[in-house]
Chains A and B, each alone.
Chain A
Amino acid sequence: MYDRRIVYADNAASSFPKPQCVIRAVVNSLKRNAANPGRSGHVLSVDAARTVYEARCAAGEFFDCDENGIIFTQNATHALNILIMGALCPGDHVLISDMEHNSVLRPLTALKQRGTVTFDVVSTDGDYVLGFERAIRPNTRMIICTHASNVTGRLFDVARIASVAKRRGVLFAVDASQSAGYADLRMRRDHIDFLCTAGHKGLLAPQGSGILAINCEVPVSPLTYGGTGTESLSALQPPTLPEALEAGTLCTPAIAGLKAALGYLMHSHSELQARERRLIGGFIDGLSQIDGVRIYEPAAERVPTVSFNLKGYDSEQVASMLDRSGICVRGGWHCSALAHGALGTAGVGAVRVSFGPFNTEADARRILKCIRDIKKI
């Protein structure tokens, strides 16, 4: 059971706890039909395949994308790697924001080092939509932008960026790892070609789940080749989505949990979003009243995440002291070299507090008290 003596405020890393319906779905899957979906022809395999398909349909409805374009991955990093390694061609140029996670920066850097792809980083300081448009070159093939920063929580206007991309004939990919489940994202409505997200953060699903959603006809080469459950006599990977990008056994229990989580969110989304918005707003107000605290992008529209530093302390020090008081947050650099570079925190990192649907105002007050207590030491 979730120990209420611990305040878990690290939902940007992984959401915790999970809704009871998600836990039940995972346990039921493990107990009843966690056979290999889409491999054997027996009743349990077919039943597992049906669970996976229903999860695909739920994800398609959630993100406004055809279910055949829903590719299940292990996590968002996996989804982004499939996209970046599979959709880009030699000679392509890519634009990314200065808030991208290393799961965007590192595969692109690897391709750049191989001499196949180039990329530029667009500042999110000021009119970044104009910044993206001005940075487009004749060979710009894709813009990748995070919907929300995993460091500051700031939300970006991906619909406007998508509009520029569409007008200029450039593909547009959104990293929705921090926003899925909180902010409204509809691929067809917003002209988003690709969407990558984790299942285990705002979507409240288990670790081991992620999604690459494809809303265009651009071919994506597989990252992993192997068994797909069809055309087994062929040495070639079958090209049909989604299986073409899902070689190997899927994590049926995690996908069952994802299906339950999507149902939970579709039912409760507005109420949860309103509550989390109030929570983070109140927390930032309280944080701003503590001397020596510097908050990063305090006025931005955001997901329920904020990062700060406490004067005179390293970020990991603060996180460690909060941990001793039963507060779970993340200090350091959040796997985001670009963001910390842009914020000027590359030398110190930051302390990130990220709320989820099960955090309360009492949690927020307790964190603030513990921060004030650190200052008294």
Chain B
Amino acid sequence: MSKMNKCILVRSVTYAQKARRLLEQNNIKSTVCKQLRASRYGCAWCVIVDESLQGRALDILGRGGVMMTGDVYYV
């Protein structure tokens, strides 16, 4: 994946699916993905969005009640 994408970690696969749906409703394309990096969580889920939309995506997800871990990184 290009470094132009950001991976937003969420608390569960259910929240990942919810995140994708919320973003889609707001015309932001995203992909549900298992977290690729090893981390302190072990298995984790994320949604991947275009870097330029990160701020807007985080706002939408926060207001939409998606529980995020707070980790966001490049993919």
Q: Is the CB of B12 within 8 A of A41?
A: no
Q: Is the CB of A229 within 8 A of B11?
A: no
Q: Is the CB of A38 within 8 A of B13?
A: yes
B11 CB to nearest A CB, Å: 5
Chain B residues in 8 Å Cβ range of A228 = 12
Chain B residues in 8 Å Cβ range of A68 = 14-15, 18, 65
Q: Is the CB of A37 within 8 A of B13?
A: yes
Q: Is the CB of B34 within 8 A of A233?
A: no
A283 CB to nearest B CB, Å: 43
CA distance A57 to B17 in the complex (A): 10
Q: Is the CB of B34 within 8 A of A40?
A: yes
From B32, B36, B44, B65, give the contact of A230 (CB < 8 A). B44
Query: Is A175 an interface position by the 8 A CB rule?
Result: no
Chain A residues in 8 Å Cβ range of B17 = 49-50, 53
Interface code A45-63, partner B: CB below 8 Å = 1, 0 otherwise? 1100110010011000000
Chain B residues in 8 Å Cβ range of A37 = 13
CA distance A56 to B13 in the complex (A): 12
Beta-carbon nearest neighbor of B31 in chain A: A46
Q: Is the CB of A230 within 8 A of B11?
A: yes
Q: Is the CB of A234 within 8 A of B18?
A: no
Q: Is the CB of A38 within 8 A of B42?
A: no
Q: Is the CB of A232 within 8 A of B43?
A: yes
Chain A residues in 8 Å Cβ range of B33 = 41, 46
Tell me the chain B residues, 46-75 only, with Cβ under 8 Å from chain A.
65, 67
B10 CB to nearest A CB, Å: 9
Q: Is the CB of B42 within 8 A of A233?
A: yes
Number of residues of chain A lying within 8 A (CB) of chain B: 26
Beta-carbon nearest neighbor of A45 in chain B: B34
A99 CB to nearest B CB, Å: 34
Contact-residue size bin, chain B (C-beta under 8 Å from the other chain): 20 to 34
From B15, B18, B42, B67, give the contact of A231 (CB < 8 A). B42
Question: Which of B13, B16, B40, B67 has the largest number of chain A CB atoms within 10 A?
Answer: B13
Query: Is A289 an interface position by the 8 A CB rule?
Result: no
Given contacts A40-B34, A46-B32, A50-B32, contact A233 B41 (CB under 8 A): yes
Q: Is the CB of A243 within 8 A of B32?
A: no
Chain B residues in 8 Å Cβ range of A240 = 11-12, 15, 67
Q: Is the CB of B41 within 8 A of A230?
A: yes
From B15, B34, B67, give the contact of A41 (CB < 8 A). B34
CA distance A175 to B13 in the complex (A): 28
Chain A residues in 8 Å Cβ range of B36 = 41
Chain A residues in 8 Å Cβ range of B45 = 38, 229-230
Beta-carbon nearest neighbor of A56 in chain B: B14
Q: Is the CB of A243 within 8 A of B42?
A: no
CA distance A217 to B74 in the complex (A): 35
A232 CB to nearest B CB, Å: 3
Query: Is A238 an interface position by the 8 A CB rule?
Result: yes
Known pairs A67-B18, A233-B42; list 18 more (Cβ under 8 Å): A38-B12, A38-B14, A41-B33, A49-B13, A49-B32, A53-B13, A53-B14, A53-B17, A56-B14, A68-B14, A68-B15, A68-B65, A230-B42, A231-B44, A232-B43, A233-B41, A238-B12, A242-B12
Could you list 23 A-B pairs, sorted by A, with CB under 8 Å?
A37-B13, A38-B45, A40-B34, A46-B34, A49-B32, A50-B32, A53-B14, A53-B21, A56-B14, A67-B18, A228-B12, A230-B12, A230-B42, A230-B44, A230-B45, A231-B41, A232-B43, A233-B41, A234-B41, A240-B11, A240-B67, A243-B13, A243-B14
